[in-house]
């Protein structure tokens, strides 16, 4: 289903200038529900001041590092969009160099972005040793990092563990990004206006952090959708913590839900998995349990929210927020546990203890 909001974002993101005027589209303005205070308070509508936003100039000259950039992924589409707007450098991070090379070849073959500077970084988020190696490489770069987009992820995979023995979805989606981001933080904090975007999901509705059983008892209690939900809640809480701890050092952090888009993410899922997802939503009392089918977005619509999180100056006052459909999420789309500062601090401490690292700021 293409909603008006989606249609408008589609129109906007495919505009080569990435310019837009929110106030021209009444329906989109009505869709702009911005939490009065980010953490769990009532929402209200706001009118963004009339005038043109120009995200192209926000991209120009920036160094952008992104994880999860295989062909067909959200990360790859985001990169191909950003490449058209004269960034200084795009660093593409993934565990498979040949996939990165294919993405770079597509960008440089595009007449809109032939000259873009790119650099490849090997990063396996399921191995702490490899993450440390990758971070060392980043710290040796001459450039600052202006924007980090943590887009890599796995979804509802069969039970598995990372090289360090953590349940895979929590370990790669959260702990991997948590470690990498914190290790390269000195490179972000030397940028004049650094941003970190955590790509999460409305699937955060499927589970809070399972404080007593985040590892699913070595697989005995494993349920793949709850595990995905926990990892996506963790992505949101990470943005809350980064905003809390580093907002005073100019860092802006957001989590974004792109919408449901056909990528490689669900390629191993069977029909039964979708039935199980529906059953879990029903059990949890989520509205998604009553909905027939999925609302599918196009990839450009979905990555529009990445672009807003990474570059839109108008969200600067909403540090730590969760975004969807290209704007701040209304409260009824947010599970309070996923934006609760106490949960965020608890997750930070748990992550530090699992990594045996003191990452205090
Ligand atoms: N697509 C959707 O409908 C949707 C909806 C909500 C949220 N999201 C979120 O969007 C993000 C991107 O998903 P996508 O749709 O672009 O999926 P995708 O096409 O499967 O891309 C995922 C990317 O993550 C990489 N990755 C997976 N495990 C990794 C690891 N251990 N180390 C390094 N990289 C790893 C993959 O690399 P390989 O190619 O090597 O596997 C791939 O580049 C995810 O965080 C997902 O939760 C997606």
What would the pLDDT profile of 265-285 be if each residue is shown by its tens digit? 988 899 999 999 999 999 999
Q: How many CA atoms lie within 13 A of 88 on its CB side?
A: 13
CATH number at 178 reads 3.40.50.720
User: Does the beta carbon of 124 lie inside 6 Å of ligand 1?
Assistant: yes
Q: Which of 312, 309, 303 is nearest to 79 (CA)?
A: 303
How many structural domains comprise the chain?
A: 1
pLDDT band at 326 (very low <50, low <70, confident <90, very high): confident
Given a cut of 50, is residue 37 above it in pLDDT?
no
The helix/strand/coil state of 202 is: helix
Backbone angles phi, psi at 83, to 5 degrees: -60, -20
Is residue 85 domain-resident?
Answer: yes
Q: How far apart are CA 304 and CA 12, in angstroms?
A: 8
Distance 154 CA to ligand 1 centre (A): 5
Domain span at 176: 4-355
Residue 7 has pLDDT above 50, yes or no: no
With beta carbons less than 8 A apart as the criterion, state whether 235 and 197 touch.
Answer: no
Is there a contact between 342 and 325 (Cβ–Cβ < 8 Å)? no
Is residue 245, in this structure, part of any structural domain at all?
yes
Residue 40 lies in a domain: yes
Residue 360 falls inside a structural domain = no
Q: Residue 165's CB: how many other CB atoms inside 10 A?
A: 10
258 domain residue, yes or no: yes
Q: Is 44's pLDDT higher than 60?
A: no
- Above pLDDT 90, what percent of the chain? 75
Task: Count the helices and strands in the chain (H runs, E runs).
Answer: 13, 12
The answer to whether residue 300 is domain-embedded is yes
Q: What is the mean pLDDT of residues 45-68?
A: 70
Q: How far apart are CA 209 and CA 169, in angstroms?
A: 12
Q: Which of the listed residues 70, 170, 177, 338 should we mutate to test ligand 1's pocket, taking the one with most ligand atoms within 8 A of CB?
A: 70
Q: What is the pLDDT at residue 54?
A: 67
In a domain, 176, yes or no: yes
**Ligand 1 binding pocket includes 231 (Cβ within 6 Å):** no
Residue 162: pLDDT over 50: yes
Residue 228 catalytic? yes
Q: With respect to residue 347, please indicate whether it lies within any of the assigned structural domains.
A: yes
Question: Model-level pTM?
Answer: 0.89
Q: In angstroms, what is the span from residue 130 Cα to ligand 1's centroid?
A: 18
At 75-84, the pLDDT tens digits run 999 999 999 9
47, pLDDT greater than 60 = no
153 CA to middle of ligand 1, Å?
A: 4
**Whole-angstrom distance between the N-terminal and C-terminal Cα of the chain?**
44
What atom of ligand 1 comes closest to residue 126's alpha carbon?
31
Look up tokens 């959260």; give the residue.
174
């Amino acid at each position: 289903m293409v909603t008006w909001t989606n249609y408008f974002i589609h129109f906007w993101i495919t505009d080569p200038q990435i310019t837009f005027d929110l106030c021209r589209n009444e329906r989109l303005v009505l869709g702009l529900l911005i939490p009065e205070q980010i953490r769990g308070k009532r929402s209200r509508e706001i009118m963004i001041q009339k005038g043109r936003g120009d995200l192209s100039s926000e991209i120009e000259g920036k160094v952008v590092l992104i994880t999860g950039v295989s062909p067909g992924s959200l990360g790859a589409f985001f990169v191909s969009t950003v490449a058209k707007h004269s960034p200084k450098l795009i660093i593409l991070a993934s565990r498979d160099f040949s996939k990165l090379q294919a993405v770079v070849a597509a960008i440089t073959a595009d007449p809109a972005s032939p000259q873009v500077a790119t650099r490849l970084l090997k990063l396996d988020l399921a191995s702490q040793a490899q993450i440390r190696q990758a971070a060392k490489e980043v710290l040796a770069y001459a450039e600052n990092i202006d924007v980090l987009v943590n887009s890599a992820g796995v979804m509802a995979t069969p039970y598995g563990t990372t090289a360090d023995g953590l349940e895979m979805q929590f370990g790669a989606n959260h702990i991997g990004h948590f470690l990498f981001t914190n290790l390269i933080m000195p490179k972000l904090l030397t940028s004049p206006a650094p941003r970190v975007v955590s790509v999460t999901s409305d699937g955060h509705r499927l589970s809070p952090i399972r404080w007593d059983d985040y590892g699913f008892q070595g697989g005995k209690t494993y349920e793949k959708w709850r595990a995905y939900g926990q990892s996506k809640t963790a992505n949101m809480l990470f943005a809350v913590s980064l905003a809390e701890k580093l907002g005073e050092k100019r860092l802006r952090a957001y989590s974004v839900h792109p919408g449901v888009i056909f990528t490689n993410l669900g390629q191993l899922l069977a029909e039964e998995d979708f039935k199980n997802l529906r059953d879990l939503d029903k059990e949890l009392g989520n509205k998604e349990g009553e909905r027939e089918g999925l609302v599918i977005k196009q990839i450009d619509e979905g990555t529009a929210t990445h672009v807003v999180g990474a570059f839109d100056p108008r969200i600067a006052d909403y540090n730590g927020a969760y975004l969807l459909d290209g704007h701040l999420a209304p409260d009824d789309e947010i599970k309070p546990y996923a934006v609760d500062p106490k949960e965020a601090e608890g997750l930070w401490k748990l992550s530090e203890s699992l990594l045996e690292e003191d990452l205090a700021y």
